[in-house]
Structure 1
Amino acid sequence: MSEPVAAQRAGGRIGVVGAGTMGTGIAYVFAAAGAEVTVVEPDGERARAALRTAATQAARAAERGRLDAAVAQGVPDRLTVVADVAELPEGLDLIVESVPERMELKRAVLAAAERRSPRLLASNTSGLPISELGADLDRPADFLGLHFFNPVWSMPLIEIVHSPATAPEQIDAARAAAELVGKETIVVRDAPGFATSRLGIALGLEAIRMLADGVAAAADIDRAMELGYRHPMGPLRLTDLVGLDVRLDVARNLAKTYGDRFDPPQLLVDKVAAGELGRKTGRGFYDWPAPD
């Protein structure tokens, strides 16, 4: 078994596969923590957008006093983009896969990432079984789930998901990686939906059903949970933030295990088909301003 990330003392060397919303956030928080980060993204425009987002977020963090100005200025220099997993440096401390929630796609990406011999390999899945994702890996003991939350730079939690094959010392390594980027952790065993997605999706789907049934407007449904249950954000606004397409993928995966209670409402299916994916497209259950 390879040396765990916990043995690394400085920022470390990190790989992130995928420069979507989550991948960009993951890459940013590690770069802001001093790590050298290599991001895999074949789409040139998406790669450029990720670098712009990281630079903008670093500048904002410095303005708000949350990040040292010199560290913020160095964030873009600590980010490198390559077009293929095979271009990742060998022997990285950690590689985090953050591609769409498709089992076969993730398994292919993870197999390619493992060939780069990272000390720790992780999936940022929201709910796909870690055991199944790692079924074809040569070193399943070095593989686990690191479930980040959006927006990664402000959400304080990382959910560490371990399979029966995951080595205990690699769970410790995952905790160390989370500590490096200033996050709190929970550790859960490998079960569909883990802890957070299973609870969050259940609430989000019911809120969408209520909206479709005309129970109340989206803002009032959200306000009920914010004021009545002290949730920091209502389930519909949170779905917009996470991405309606992400929520749809997770719901469909959970329905395979837990049955029709996780069947996605038709309203969610229709919005995704129409390209209304939430904040990232400017429209979901709310209208959103264009990103900077």
Structure 2
Amino acid sequence: MTIERLGIVGGGQMGAGIGEVAAKAGIDVVIVEAAAEIAEKSQGRISASLEKAVSREKISRADADATLARLQFSTEPGELADRQFVIEAIVENLALKEDLFAKLDSIVTDPDAILASNTSSIPIIKLAAQTNRPDKVIGTHFFNPVPVMALLELVQSLKTSEETVERARSLGEQLGKQMILSKDRAGFIVNYLLVPYIVNAIKMFEEGFASAEDIDNGMKLGANHPMGPLELADFIGLDTMLFVQEVLYAEFADPFYAAPPLLRRMVDAGLLGRKTGEGFYRY
């Protein structure tokens, strides 16, 4: 089934990226934000991305204009009522996401519409349980920057139907993504593997075992990684790293997943990485 009408809640870096890719693919997109100024910022983010693509001759001016014409920005959740597929892309906060899914279940009128989450770590069943359509709730974890990264991680809860998985897979194909399918547990596939790797790098730095530069260069030059673990943590956001780690620790109760004290102190200090100008590096 081809998706023609997509809704996105949250027009930040991830939501805007998903919206851009979907509109490029010919899908009518509504992005809902909490306030008008945030919606304007989301629109500006997508416009800037498309301008860059035009300047690099990745897309024609006509295609960029057509992409923007398929995007609608709103502060009214009711604009999502007729959507066939809605993706939640708000901040990684369980309580906020649970509340949103309960509301979306009432707002989106089509009982066959799929409600998806871009969460990078939260078990999908926790969100599905807030709805009367748990079989139509799925994880659609995109990667940043969405227009560049090819991967889409689909997450199937114990309640997610096979039909929902196939419809999500079909949307991924429309968006030109390559998909992997994970069962529902904290961290899914990618972050279950990635977060402990980054945490060990933070512990090495915290203990004075090596400098940030040497840790990162070791993995870039020795393992052919495009970014070192501490650079990547700054790119993701240290607050997001801490949240994902806490979700993993809550799920598995293994000290291996406990957050290093340094990570907590940096988040408390507002040193969140690139988005605040300083983390393990200054930007």
Give the TM-score taking structure 2 as reference length: 0.93
- 2:10 aligned partner, one-letter code: G
2:276 alignment partner in structure 1: 281
Closer, same or farther in 2 for the Cα pair 1:84/1:252, shift >3 Å? farther
Identity value in percent:
38
CA contact (8 A) 1:34 1:71 kept: no
- The equivalent residue for 1:128 is 122
Shift, 1:268, TM fit: 1.3
For 2:11, the equivalent position in structure 1 comes to 19
Whether the 8 Å contact between 1:101 and 1:249 is mirrored in structure 2 is yes
Question: Residues 140-151 of structure 1 correspond to what in structure 2 (within 5 A)?
Answer: 140-151=134-145
Letter of the structure 2 residue corresponding to residue 256 of structure 1: A
Q: 1:251-262 maps to which residues of 2 (within 5 A)? A: 251-258=245-252, 259-262=254-257
Task: Identify unmatched segments of 5+ residues in structure 2.
Answer: none
Mapped contact 1:131–1:163 kept (Cα < 8 A): yes
Structure 2 residue aligned with 1:36: 28
Q: Which residue of 2 aligns with 1:4?
A: none
Evaluate the alpha carbon distance shift between residue 51 and residue 117 of structure 1 in structure 2; reply closer, same or farther with a 3 A threshold: same
**1:1-292 to 2 correspondences below 5 Å:** 7-8=1-2, 12-85=4-77, 87-115=78-106, 116-117=108-109, 119-258=113-252, 259-288=254-283
**CA–CA separation in structure 2 for the residues paired with 1:201 and 1:47:** 31
Q: Which digits, 9 at most, give the CA deviation of each residue in 1:41-69, with x for residues without a partner?
A: 11333222211110011111222233233
What TM-score comes out, normalization by structure 1 length?
A: 0.90
Amino acid at match of 1:219: E
Q: Which amino acid aligns with 1:65?
A: E
Letter paired with 2:279: G
Shift of 1:158: 0.7
- Distance in 1 (alpha carbons) for counterparts of 2:276 and 2:267: 11
Partners of 2:35 and 2:263 in 1: CA distance: 27
**Count of equivalent residues:** 279
**Shift of the alpha carbon at 1:150?**
1.1
Q: CA RMSD in A?
A: 1.6
State the AA in 1 paired with 2:161.
A
**Contact conserved, 2:101 with 2:130, CA < 8 A, in 1?**
no
